[in-house]
Structure formats: structure tokens, C-alpha cells
């Protein structure tokens, strides 16, 4: 069994990767199967690329702010980091996400371990906490869009979505809800009866460790020494996310008249698309963003082209700057980020140093 377990784990990882990649490829095929490819490519030459360059610059500013915020979260744990070195790790992580979903979070912690000797357990706890914080902010944005664009969203749901979902719902057997409820009750009962054995399983231990990391990360937020800097950098991250998405509307005449609130809707749907367990949001991002643009009177083909331009420009930027960052991280001089917490600790350490004899 000791021989099979690693093989089974590797097989499971490969299966998850293939399922994720297959989902992305399938969605892209579904979205582009009726698209005039030649006309799609011809439109690329007519784009206003100055707005695309600006969007990439804004995205890099958001990534720098994320690196700075990460430093603030690690400082209470005794690590003082340079923003440019953390930026290398953040960009390397985004590159990793293009290969394997969610692997980038771990990869960026490994890069920081390589450059600044920060233990992965410390840095990963902060990463998990910031991801939870970002999720809460995304939920707040979703609530804001639903409130501000209530009429448009309602029309979108009753019209566009119901036409596609009604057939699926009508085909669901009437007894299925009862089966789901009964199965859920069995799972709860099984957990209660076998809770001691379940608590010894690797899955339970991993989940418990993850929750422990989240709690530790949120404790580090409470202990941040510069709370105004922390929340200011958080605001900058999301402001840049919004602006880098919205300025793309000016790259083509079909979307150039979209209102500012549309940028918030694009940010909302783009965030949901990127949160899906698919490499780099391929397929899911295109589906979500092109769908929401329908409520603003943008045709499906134009919406899909817009989503493709936005996603592709950011993906190219991640490949370029993430690749440069990953290579740079291999050659930067390794240093220890573990430092005294304050001037009193520095003074104490200096006093403990052996003094030269007179």
C-alpha cells in the first residue's frame, strides 16, 4: 500500500489537471464554434493598443500593491521584505496559475522561500487570509452590482439565462430533490458515527490545517503595524482591477460608450470567471464577461471579442512579466528576511554582542 499511495496521489493530481484543462477547452470550443474566425482576427488590427498598454500597466500596479500588502501581513511575524522581491514572487505565482489552478499561491511562497528564506507555512497562511479577504470584497462588489443594476440584471436572468436553463430544469426528475436530501442526511449521520476515524484521514487534516492557516493569517491582519497602509493597498489593488478592465472598452467602437458602472459588472463577472478551477480562467472568463455585456446592449460576438482582448492581453502580460520574475528570482542574492521587530529588539541584540576587550 505504501507503494500504491504515491501513485494514486499522482494519478489524482493528473486527473484533476486534465479535467480542469478539458473544461476550459470545452468552454472555448463552445463559445467559438460559431464565430467567424477570419473576421475575428481581422478586428485585432483595428484595436486601439494604447488602452491595452494602459490596462497592462494598471495590472502591474495592482500586483505591486499586492506584494506590498503581503509584506505588511508578514511583518508582524518578524519578516521585513523588500517590495520588489515580493513582487517577483507574486508575478511568479500568477505564472504558475496559468499551468495549474491554485498552484500559483504555493509557488509564490516557494519563490519567497528561495529569495528571502521565509518559511512557506508563514507566507502561505498570509496568502490564504488575503484570498479570503479578496473573496469578501468580490462578494461586496457582486452585491453592489446587483443593487445598482437591479433592473438590467433581472431582465438578464429572466431572459438570457432562463432560456438556456429552463430545458435542463424541466428534465430533472421530480424525485431528485428527495434523493439529494436523503443523501445529505446520510453523510451527516456517517460523519457523526465515524468522526474519530474521519479526523485521522489526510483530507480532514489538510482541511483543518488550511483553516488554521486562515485563522493565523487573519490574526496577522489584526497585528499589521500599518493598518492604513494595509487597507490603502487593498483599495489600490481593487481600484486597479476595475480600471484595467474598464479602459479596454475604449479599444473598440462597439464598447466605447459603455458607462463606468459597466466596468464594475465586468470586474464582478471576470472575478467569478477567474475563481473557477480552470487554468488562467480560460473559457470561464470569456463566458462570464461576454454574458454580462448582453445587459448593456452588446452583441454576443462583440462581447466575446471584448472578453478575448481583455483576457489575452492580461495573459500575455503574466507570461512576459511572470517569466521574467521567475528567472530573476533564480539569480537574485538570497537573504534572510527574519529581523528584530523593533528598535528595542535591535538595541538588545547589539548589547548581547561580545564587546572587544580594552
Condensed to tens digits (0 to 9), the pLDDT of residues 262-277 reads 999 999 999 988 887 7
108, 114, 201, 207 from 198: Cα distances, Å: 31, 35, 5, 12
What residues does each domain of the chain span?
A: 47-161+213-333
Q: Dump strand ranges (E) for 98-169.
A: none
Provide the whole-model pTM.
0.76
Walk along the chain (358 residues) and give the pLDDT tens digit of each residue.
444 466 666 666 667 677 777 777 888 887 888 777 777 888 888 899 999 999 999 999 999 999 999 999 888 888 888 999 999 999 999 998 888 777 888 899 999 999 988 888 888 888 888 888 888 899 999 999 888 888 877 777 666 555 555 554 555 566 566 777 777 777 777 767 777 777 777 777 777 766 776 676 666 677 788 889 999 999 999 999 999 999 999 999 999 999 999 999 999 999 988 887 777 888 889 988 998 998 898 988 899 999 999 999 999 999 999 999 999 999 888 887 666 444 444 443 344 444 554 4
Are the CB atoms for 247 and 54 separated by under 8 Å?
A: yes
Query: Torsion angle, CA of 278/281/286/288, rounded to 10 degrees?
Result: 80
Nearest to 223 by CA among 82, 346, 72: 72
Give burial (CB, 10 Å; 0-12/13-18/19+) of 98. middle
The string of pLDDT tens digits covering residues 44-101 is 888 999 999 999 999 999 999 999 999 998 888 888 889 999 999 999 999 988 887 7
Are the CB atoms for 26 and 205 separated by under 8 Å?
A: no
Amino acid at each position: 500500500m505504501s507503494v500504491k499511495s504515491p501513485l494514486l496521489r499522482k494519478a489524482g493530481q493528473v486527473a484533476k489537471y486534465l479535467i480542469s484543462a478539458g473544461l476550459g477547452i470545452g468552454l472555448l470550443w463552445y463559445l467559438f464554434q460559431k464565430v467567424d474566425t477570419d473576421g475575428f482576427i481581422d478586428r485585432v488590427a483595428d484595436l486601439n493598443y494604447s488602452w491595452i498598454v494602459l490596462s497592462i500597466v494598471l495590472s502591474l500596479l495592482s500586483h505591486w500593491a499586492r506584494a506590498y500588502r503581503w509584506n505588511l501581513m508578514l511583518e508582524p511575524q518578524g519578516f521585513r521584505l523588500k517590495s520588489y522581491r515580493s513582487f517577483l514572487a507574486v508575478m511568479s505565482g500568477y505564472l504558475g496559475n496559468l499551468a495549474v489552478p491554485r498552484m500559483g499561491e504555493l509557488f509564490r511562497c516557494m519563490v519567497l522561500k528561495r529569495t528571502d528564506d521565509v518559511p512557506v507555512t508563514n507566507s502561505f497562511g498570509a496568502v490564504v487570509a488575503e484570498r479570503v479577504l479578496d473573496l469578501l470584497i468580490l462578494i461586496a462588489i457582486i452585491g453592489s452590482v446587483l443593487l445598482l443594476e437591479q433592473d438590467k440584471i433581472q431582465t438578464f436572468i429572466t431572459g438570457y439565462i432562463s432560456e438556456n436553463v429552463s430545458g435542463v430544469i424541466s428534465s430533472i426528475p421530480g424525485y431528485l430533490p428527495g434523493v439529494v436530501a436523503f443523501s445529505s442526511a446520510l453523510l451527516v449521520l456517517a460523519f457523526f458515527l465515524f468522526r474519530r476515524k474521519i479526523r485521522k484521514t489526510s483530507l480532514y487534516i489538510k482541511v483543518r490545517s488550511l483553516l488554521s492557516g486562515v485563522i493565523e493569517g487573519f490574526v496577522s491582519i489584526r497585528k499589521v503595524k500599518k493598518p492604513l497602509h494595509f487597507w490603502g493597498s487593498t483599495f489600490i489593488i481593487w481600484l486597479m482591477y476595475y480600471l484595467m478592465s474598464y479602459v479596454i472598452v475604449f479599444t473598440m467602437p462597439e464598447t466605447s460608450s459603455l458607462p463606468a458602472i459597466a466596468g464594475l459588472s465586468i470586474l464582478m463577472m471576470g472575478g467569478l470567471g477567474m475563481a473557477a478551477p480552470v487554468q488562467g480562467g480560460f473559457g470561464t472568463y470569456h463566458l462570464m464577461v461576454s454574458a454580462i455585456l448582453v445587459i448593456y446592449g452588446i452583441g454576443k460576438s462583440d462581447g466575446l471579442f471584448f472578453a478575448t482582448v481583455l483576457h489575452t492581453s492580461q495573459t500575455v502580460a503574466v507570461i512576459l512579466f511572470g517569466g521574467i520574475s521567475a528567472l530573476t528570482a533564480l539569480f537574485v542574492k538570497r537573504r534572510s528576511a527574519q529581523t528584530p521587530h523593533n528598535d528595542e529588539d535591535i538595541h538588545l541584540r547589539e548589547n548581547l554582542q561580545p564587546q572587544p576587550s580594552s
